[in-house]
Structure 1
Amino acid sequence: MVTVLVILILCLTAIGIAYLIHSGSKKDYVIDYETKNYNKSLYKGDTFAKDLCVTSNNVSLEGYADDDSLGAAGLFDIKNNTVLYADNIHTQLYPASTTKVMTAYVALKYGNLDDIVTISENAVNLDADAQVCGFEAGDQVSMYDLMNGLLLYSGNDAALAIAEHVGGSVEAFVQKMNEEAKALGATNTNFVNPHGLHDPQQYTTAYDLYLMFNACSKNPTFIDIISQKSYSATITSADGDQWTTEWIPTNYYSAGEATPPEGVNVLGGKTGTTDEAGSCVILYNQDMESNPYISVIMGADTKTILYDDMTALLAVGVGTKSSKN
């Protein structure tokens, strides 16, 4: 009887293998899954993913109309570990300055916010049209000020200065970004710089971005920084003179250029815009009971589309929950 059972199991196994080999669609799916490596560890369920929102598929949201012009969009209920909406969240896209979420994560994990950083020539060697805080080589500024310049104003010079100070070099810091991203489960992501200026080898997904942003949100300092409506930084120039500058958030909700829907409090977030990436934003939100949500849209054609779609998504996914309670 045991021998017959073993033979039966072997036969069924062989049939299954033969099916995978000879069935074109099934084979394509398996190879595609292995190639793209869609956060496989997350789908084991009981270990890594127990405190995360997880889905491998698109998730519809009643009352919200999909916008096919977007690269990807997602809404995550952090309290209940639930994906409320997902559209192409595992598609690899260019991140633009949403890259700085991972820069912040590494800086907060390995840096000292009380450190005084001297701005290098390399940190200010950027194209004239790049978003910058306005530092000059030799300026001295605290790490805390740099973090505000990074997250609120999206300064590319701040990103480079942080990378050099915390990592010893930009290259070493970026290596740490990739290591930490993989440790968080962001296996569809690759970084080659800490600021997000376009590089064809720098990419992420909306879901990976959620993983990184969610990890950052566990740090109260991160939430405190992104929640501000403005920040005044103090810079000491190379000749000893001090000056101050004010940074306004680049996300339209915090800057007062977009209005959150009723029942939704947008605490803050991180934006990103390049020609190749389109307009992107990831946000930390709360309903009227202060329950947390993370929302993300990538690849909008314009900022108007970006914020119109985000407002509609939050209204249905978060605002309606508040009104029902």
Structure 2
Amino acid sequence: MVRTEKKKKSGIRIFVALLLMVVVAALVYKSIITPENHQIPVNEYDDNSSSYSPPISSDHKTMPDPSLELEPEPSVSISPGELNSPNAILINLKDHTVLMQKNSEEKIYPASLTKMMTAIVVIENLPDLKKEITLTNSVFQGLSEADASMAGFQPGEEVRAIDLLYGALLPSGAESCVGLAYYIAGSEKDFVGMMNQKAADLGMHNTHFENSTGLQHENHYTTVKDLSILLSYALQNDTFREIFTSSRHTTPPTNKHPDGITFKSTMFEELNNQSIADVEILGGKTGFTDEAGLCLASLAQVGDQEYILISVGAKGDHYTEQYNITDALAVYNSIEK
């Protein structure tokens, strides 16, 4: 009987010990998998997104970091409906914020705003801009018949590339564009292929060029949004910016012009000393065809910020009020100072 009693007590002790071990193990397991104690790795990314997903605190509240707060973006007081131009876009050049847009992704004809692409492709593909280029007779073929604007160079003239660039952007000379295209690529057609490749590289997905000058062609089109991408990019190039913001330029003597040629910017000529307090229009490129209307790509400084405005399609011509200039002055004046 004594042995039986001892065996019973020993069995009970073993059972109790096993039970305690099970309870302790359960408590440890629960403490590991409880959600509020589960830590998210600091550098974890959302599998469904390429952007970083920051960890969320247990109380789902985050305190703002004052050092990350941005100044509010300036606003404009003019409404798109008040513009003469049916297509327009205004962008802060520093952070590329769109402040105003009007039919910005609608297909339009760019006219001579095309020459901005011509210029940047030349600059990026010709290391020596002081290289002299001979303008052959073939450069001028068809330009007068198309009523293209000209810089004033002549067949057989030997001109530096940099002067042709000024001739393309300031007086909007078509012969300057074609001469550069021939020199860079051997033909205007092949040069246009380079223009279209550059447009694709920049993400100008609704743009196609057929020539280097902007002469009207049904398959030569873009959008003001795409043109804003182009101008934002081109202005990062010091040479382009220098030409784009020049009001005049005089070439050195050439074999056809012993006194050189002086160019004046068509935009500054049409601006005609109009100005607004706290607004400085730094540069621009005009354009016009019957199909494209009055066009303008401009750069201005308002306060301590730079802005670009692309406007296309305003009614009128070279002999009417320049509604593209009127729109630019109105828009820049409406930016909150």
What TM-score bracket applies, with the shorter chain setting the length?
0.7 to 0.9
- Equivalent position of 2:275 in the other structure: 260
Deviation at 1:261, TM superposition (A): 2.3
Deviation of residue 205 (structure 1)?
Answer: 0.5
Query: Equivalent of 1:247, from 256, 263, 270?
Result: 263
Bigger radius of gyration: 2
Question: Deviation digits for residues 151-181 of structure 1, max 9, x if unmatched?
Answer: 1110000010011111221111100000000
Q: Which runs of 5+ in 2 are unaligned?
A: 1-48, 52-74
Residue by residue over 1:75-110, the C-alpha shift from the partner in whole angstroms, topping out at 9 and shown as x without a partner, is: 101113210001011011000000001001101110
Instruction: Say whether residues 1:100 and 2:118 are aligned partners.
Output: no
1:70/1:256 CA distance change after superposition, 3 Å: closer
Please give the alpha-carbon distance, in whole angstroms, between the structure 1 residues aligned to 2:310 and 2:240: 17
* C-alpha separation in 1, matches of 2:100 and 2:196: 27
**Partner in structure 2 of residue 316 of structure 1:** 334
Q: Which residue of 1 aligns with 2:246?
A: 228
AA aligned to 1:73 is A
- Rate the CA distance shift 1:219–1:68 in 2: closer, same or farther, 3 A: closer
Residues 174 and 194 of structure 1 are in contact (CA less than 8 Å); yes or no, is this contact kept in structure 2? yes
Identify the match of residue 129 of structure 2 among 97, 105, 113.
113
1:148/1:65 CA distance change after superposition, 3 Å: same
| Helix, strand or coil at the partner of 1:191 | coil
Offset of residue 45 of structure 1? 10
Which position in structure 1 is the counterpart of 2:144? 127
Give the 3-state SS of the residue equivalent to 2:323 in structure 1: helix
- Larger displacement relative to structure 2 (295-304 or 201-210): 295-304
- TM-score where L is the length of structure 2: 0.72
Contact 2:89 2:311 (8 Å CA) reproduced: yes
Match of 2:104 in 1: 89
How many angstroms apart in 2 are the aligned matches of 1:287 and 1:175? Answer: 37
What residue in structure 1 maps to residue 313 of structure 2? Answer: 299
One-letter code aligned to 2:276: P
Partner of residue 237 from structure 1, selected from 255, 267, 273:
255
1:183 alignment partner, SS class: helix
Aligned length: 259
Q: Tell me the distance in 1 between the aligned counterparts of 2:87 and 2:163.
A: 32
Q: 1:211 & 1:203 partners in 2: Cα distance? A: 15
Contact kept, 8 Å, 1:264 with 1:287, in 2: the verdict is yes
Aligned counterparts, 1:5-84, within 5 A:
61-64=76-79, 66-67=81-82, 70-84=85-99
The answer to which of 188-197 and 65-74 deviates more is 65-74
Deviation sequence 1:30-62 (CA, Å, 0-9, x none): xxxxxxxxxxxxxx997xxxxxxxxxxxxx943
User: Unmatched 5+ residue regions in structure 1?
Assistant: 1-43, 47-59
2:162 matched to 1:144? yes
Query: Tell me, what secondary structure is at the counterpart of 1:149?
Result: helix
Looking at secondary structure, tell me which structure has more helix per residue.
1
Q: In 2, are the aligned partners of 1:166 and 1:173 still within 8 Å (CA)?
A: yes
Match of 1:175 among 193, 205, 217: 193
Q: Secondary structure at the match of 2:100?
A: strand
Q: Is the 8 A contact 1:64 1:312 kept in 2?
A: no
In structure 2, what is the equivalent of residue 208 of structure 1? 226
> How far is the alpha carbon of 1:135 from its aligned partner?
1.7
Match of 1:278 in 2: 293
Matched AA of 1:121? N
Mark the CA change 1:226 to 1:130 in structure 2 (over 3 Å): closer, same or farther. same
Deviation of 1:316 (Å): 0.8
Q: Distance in 1 between matches of 2:175 and 2:50?
A: 40
**Distance of aligned partners of 1:308 and 1:258 in 2 relative to their CA distance in 1, 3 Å threshold:** farther
| Distance of aligned partners of 1:45 and 1:283 in 2 relative to their CA distance in 1, 3 Å threshold | farther
Q: Is the 8 A contact 1:140 1:235 kept in 2?
A: no
Aligned to 1:5: none
Q: Which amino acid aligns with 2:265?
A: P
Identity %: 32
1:123 Cα deviation after fit? 1.6
1:71–1:93 Cα contact (<8 Å) kept: no
CA contact (8 A) 2:83 2:327 kept: no
Give the RMSD, CA atoms, in angstroms.
2.1
Deviation at 1:237, TM superposition (A): 2.8
Q: Secondary structure at the match of 1:74?
A: strand
Distance 2:224 2:94 in 1: 19
